[in-house]
Amino acid sequence: MPLGVRRLDSPPTPRGRGETFLPDELVAFSHLRWTFVWQRPQHLLSRLGQGRNVWFIEEPLPVEGLDEPRLRVEERGGVRRVWLEVPGTANTHVCFSDPRAAGYEQLILELIGPPRERTAWLYTPMALPLAEAVSPSLVVYDVMDDLAAFKHAAPELVLRQRRALKRADVVFTGGRSLYRSVVARRPDGTHCFPSGVDPSHYAPAIVMRQPGPRRVAGYVGVIDERLDLDLIATLASSLPDWEIRMVGPVVKIDTATLPQAPNISYPGPALYTDLPEVMAGFDVALMPFALNEATRSISPTKTLEYLAAGLPVVSTRVPDVVSDFGDLVDLQDDGAGFAAACQRVEQHCALSRAAKAEPLLHWHHWDTISGRMEDLMAQCLAAESDGAEVIA
């Protein structure tokens, strides 16, 4: 369903229950670009933004040959993307706190207008000063990743995260491991919401799947330092008659480091709309994550997406995958284990797997998650209005 965007001068529409409603404007601040991989921010904000003005403020983008910063605005499916282009080298990272972005805050204020009832939604604590500048009625911090563990993380990120956790009215976390680390620092108002799935989007893959000339073990997602490249290489050599298909953009790592073999393919990124067709070409789905600092707290969305597409899944022992999907996913430690598991799970009964997955797919539906989040946000606003305490 397309996201409706209201005129800036139109009256607010009550959204909640009783006398409580959420602001009709939502301003999100993200380290990810709206046009990158369609994932948690897009799923949630496209749902929570129904009938609201949604601004999606992205990190500055370096542009070669640019003499001075310039603000860019683009309408994307009802969401207004906003980003600041700054002088710099293409394909490098520029944080919200970079000196080149010094005027970003004022430009945003001029764009979205004077203070009004609005929600500020954080995906990176580095944008906290900008979020505070828009004078929000409600501050939400959705902790989807442990950003401090990522490559090229800003040195001040840990300190900014502490400030963001203290400042936020409501905190959501994208998985159990993240929740445990966050709730230790913010025990009140923190809620665990692992990422979800839209089962109806992936269901066509089940019907489209046809036997191919050879078996395909496939991965869909960002190809970065979180993947175990040695495991992938060993898997390919152990299954020479299979194709290992790695679908997704290569980010933050040198493409020269990617394992190469006659049976490994890198088709590049795929649009969200095309993922059912992409997954219909798999016989087995892979989650070959390295077990390192960058994966210690991840809760991969693709687990549910693979299951909704009717695929058997083989994964390394990522903590949240073990705790949430241990009965549905074949857990292995190395390339040889992955190879044996691929041959084994491909023979499993698809109907039995679907029956086990169905309750999880319902509970983790993005509609269910966004509705529960909205209830908590409304409770928080009501509690602030009444001077009461929110019940978690």
Tens digits of per-residue pLDDT, 268-320?
999 999 999 999 999 999 999 999 887 888 888 899 999 999 999 999 999 99
* Whole-prediction pTM: 0.83
Same domain, 241 and 336: yes
275, part of any domain:
yes
User: What is the pLDDT confidence band of residue 16, given thresholds at 50, 70 and 90?
Assistant: very low
Same domain, 192 and 205: no
295, part of any domain:
yes
| Helices 366-386, 40-48: crossing angle, 10 deg rounding | 60
Q: Classify each residue of 246-283 as buried b or exposed e, where b means 16 or more C-beta atoms within 10 Å of its C-beta.
A: bbbebeeeeeeebbeeebbebeebbeeeebbebbbbbb
Same domain, 154 and 251: no
Of residues 14 and 149, which shows the higher confidence score? 149
19, part of any domain:
no
Residues 256, 315: Cα–Cα separation, whole Å: 24
246, part of any domain:
yes
Q: What is the CATH number of the domain that holds 215?
A: 3.40.50.2000
**pLDDT of 210 higher than 90:** yes
Query: What pLDDT is stored for residue 149 in this prediction?
Result: 67
Q: Provide the mean pLDDT of the chain.
A: 90
185, part of any domain:
yes
**pLDDT of 5 higher than 90:** no
Same domain, 76 and 178: yes
Same domain, 322 and 230: yes
User: What is the pLDDT confidence band of residue 220, given thresholds at 50, 70 and 90?
Assistant: very high
Domain that holds residue 377: 25-196+366-386
Same domain, 51 and 38: yes
131, part of any domain:
yes
- Mean pLDDT of the 59-67 span: 96
Same domain, 204 and 277: yes
**pLDDT of 388 higher than 90:** no
Cα torsion angle, 144, 145, 147, 148, sign: positive
pLDDT digits (tens, 9 = 90+) for 133-162: 999 999 999 999 877 766 666 778 888 999
CB distance 258 to 231 below 8 Å = no
pLDDT digits (tens, 9 = 90+) for 326-379: 999 999 999 999 999 999 999 999 999 999 999 999 889 999 999 999 999 999
| 260 Cβ contact partners less than 8 Å away, ≥ 6 residues apart | none
Same domain, 53 and 177: yes
Same domain, 125 and 273: no
Candidates 129, 156, 161; CA nearest to 145 is: 161
Query: What pLDDT is stored for residue 314 in this prediction?
Result: 98
205, part of any domain:
yes
- Residue 97 burial by CB count (10 A; 0-12/13-18/19+): exposed, middle or buried? buried
Query: What pLDDT is stored for residue 152 in this prediction?
Result: 66
The total domain count for the chain is 2
181, part of any domain:
yes
Query: What backbone phi and psi angles, to 5 degrees, belong to 289?
Result: -80, 140
Same domain, 55 and 163: yes
